[in-house]
Structure 1
């Protein structure tokens, strides 16, 4: 039998334990652990959720990896076409972990209405384009039909629709410069708005218009099998750098590739700062919870001084007595973790389902509500880490037990 654990259980179950002088302090310590864990869970969930959502939105407009022809073009516009007659298209089987690949083309233009005009970047897409992420972004209308003959259906962002005073069903004129000779009369297209989207990512929403890729092929005088670039989607974003190198190595020498981390380096550097902030929050919360537990344990030790004296007089070693109080402290920490997990996870699930907490300035974070996500492995490690670190901190106050003299302790009673 584990004697120390037996004594700790008797202390915890005893009626005097709940009515003793230390009872209020113990409740405060448990509350501190619970509140600390709630703060840590919320910080982790919001950070992970925000990172995932920003990654997803950037990938929706660019893919995780882009494959294009080598050129000196630094703009977002497709200038040098790429043939679709590639071994990796329409399925990239040579590299594992790739979920989808699609052909696109982009062209800069201007939308002109009777009242105003706006610069745009028309993104031509085909039947292979993955619209699944846009189901969350669509606020009006529907997606364009691309599986039939060439048509004039497009979707635009809510930002462009508001600036140009357009709505679903409206038609407008757009103008695109001709390749190789900007002095010539620009290409003109008459498009119809069939859908309006809002991704919350103003950098993209303010310029992107989605249309049939055949419009851009005709304006650029490309062949049917020529596109601007390929967008590659991978299964695990954490392997982006590795998969980017594998894709680059697998393609022919005339093609180049680039990951969205390379293209939007500043954005992903900013996202990386989230981890540092969360680490600081977790560190502070563990220290606060640990200090409260140290206070509670000191009060417990002082309250049980006679018991400590009796155990020492009976020959119990100091470490054995310290283990009794360490078991007791671990129990209190466990209670705090239980309530912290219960309340914290309910709050996270509530935010995930109902999205009741909004960003005061959606433009700064590219979305209106605060997204949340929780990783089971991270959640388990957090709980184990808090339990171990807080219990380890209890070794310091438990050292006072070695200074207690049996004679004085028994007289103290």
Structure 2
């Protein structure tokens, strides 16, 4: 074992070399490291967890990638997909794709005796992924879609149900209108109530049968207004997106789930800025405290430095001793910080005791992403930055004269 590391361990773990001042300094150093680890872990895990949860909610509700006609533009009334050079089977058979589902949309109004609400009626077919949708259901069931006839069952959001005072099995009249045509009235039965916590969806979207939309939009019996593509892994979306674009033809276009709602994408990007800012602040605090610990330990052990120099130790060896000594002091703080941070995050992940306002944050409970890689990188990063930051202050040792140091007490 090299001399600097051996000597560092001897003085770091010795019980006889710690006076009251040393204990206070060591405690401050370890506390700052532990707090830095805890805050960094919570910031990264909740920030990345929020980004992941919002993206997954958007994707699981309306597909990781959606295909529409270029004639639809931003209209809520979908136009028929162009079938030339459009290969839905090839898209479905891509190895990264889990499933696809067709849909068509039309805008309208729900009205009853007490209130009214604007809606987007999303008609789905028999390939509707009911199992994926179940995570959003809070009451009732999903409609049974067979595409035989006109299904009157619908699923509405909790927000719409609250605004119109609707319950399961209640009936509601919808009004749809198009230019140069009389209003179209349809009566539906509420069989399910969902909640995504994403305001732009919960305020508007109603799920029902695609044949209802085909009739209202005067589509053909096999026409569709769009297709939702669900992937096996949300992280593959950037890789799969160009593959999908090559299979949809020139008169259709594809968009990612987050691109549908640019305000949500902007909100998600804020997390990266906040995470970076908080970690930077924590690093500065930890580094300042660790440098303070090193300088005080050097002053406290000036006599020992003089003895080491007298015995032939070089300035570089003595600097290594004190840097190693300071880093060894940090290790208990790293362990305690990780244990406390992981326990707190695990409890939040299981019990969700910290809640949020979904209208502002798009999630109702603080989500947690406990990734072992992030945990390791935070601890290793703080240890590495601290080690590098100690190099310059350690040069104070070279200014200490052996003769004066031995006399110093």
TM-score class normalised by the smaller sequence: over 0.9
Deviation at 1:384, TM superposition (A): 1.2
1:363-387 CA distance string (max 9 Å, x none):
1111222111133322222221111
Structure 1 match to 2:168: 168
Q: How does 1:63-142 map to 2 (within 5 A)?
A: 63-71=63-71, 73-82=73-82, 86-89=86-89, 92-93=92-93, 95-142=94-141
Unpaired segments of 5 or more residues in structure 2?
A: none
Take 1:46 and 1:154, find their aligned partners in 2: how far apart are those partners? Answer: 35
Tell me the SS of whatever aligns to 2:249.
coil
Partner of 2:324: 327
User: 1:8 maps to what in 2?
Assistant: 8
The aligned counterpart of 1:353 is 350
In the alignment, is residue 394 of structure 1 matched against residue 379 of structure 2?
no
Mean CA deviation greater in 7-16 or 227-236: 227-236
Unaligned runs of 5+ in 1: none
In 2, are the aligned partners of 1:44 and 1:374 still within 8 Å (CA)?
no
Q: Which residue of 1 aligns with 2:380?
A: 384
CA distance in 1, matches of 2:251, 2:144: 33
Answer whether contact 1:308 1:406 (CA < 8 A) is retained: yes
Counterpart mapping for 1:284-299 below 5 A: 284-299=281-296
Deviation at 1:345?
Answer: 0.8
Contact 1:154–1:211, Cα closer than 8 Å, also in 2: yes
- 1:17–1:127 distance in 2 versus 1, CA, 3 Å: farther
Distance 1:404 1:244 in 2: 64
Q: What TM-score results when the alignment is normalised by the length of structure 2?
A: 0.93
Cα offset, 1:234, TM superposition: 2.9
Q: Pick the aligned partner of 1:279 from 270, 276, 280.
A: 276
What is the RMSD computed on CA atoms of the aligned residues?
A: 2.1
- Check the 8 A contact 2:36/2:282 in 1, yes or no: yes
1:364 aligns with 2:363: no
Residues 81 and 97 (structure 1 numbering): CA distance in 2 closer, same or farther, change over 3 Å?
Answer: closer
1:14-93 equivalence runs, <5 A: 14-71=14-71, 73-82=73-82, 86-89=86-89, 92-93=92-93
In 1, Cα distance between equivalents of 2:112 and 2:90: 38
Q: Using a 3 Å threshold, how does the CA distance of structure 1 residues 219 and 128 change in structure 2: closer, same or farther?
A: same
- Counterpart of 2:249 in structure 1 is 252
Length-normalised TM-score, structure 1: 0.92
My pick for the range that moved more, 256-265 or 294-303, is 256-265
Name the SS for the 1:169 alignment partner.
coil
Structure 2: how far apart are the matches of 1:156 and 1:386? 48
Q: Residues 57-77 of structure 1, C-alpha deviation per residue, up to 9 Å, x if partnerless? A: 222343222212231532122
Q: Within 1, Cα distance between the matches of 2:18 and 2:45? A: 35
CA deviation profile, 1:235-283 (whole Å, cap 9, x unmatched): 4444434432222123323322222343323321231121111111111
The alpha-carbon deviation at position 170 of structure 1 amounts to: 0.5
1:190 aligns with 2:187: yes
SS at match of 2:354: coil
Alpha-carbon contact 2:147-2:210 (below 8 Å) kept: no
Contact 2:58 2:258 in 1 (8 A): no
SS at match of 2:387: helix
| Greater CA drift, 235-244 or 306-315 | 235-244
- Is the 1:90–1:101 contact (alpha carbons within 8 Å) kept by the matching residues of 2? no
Q: CA deviation at 1:96?
A: 4.4
SS at match of 1:89: helix
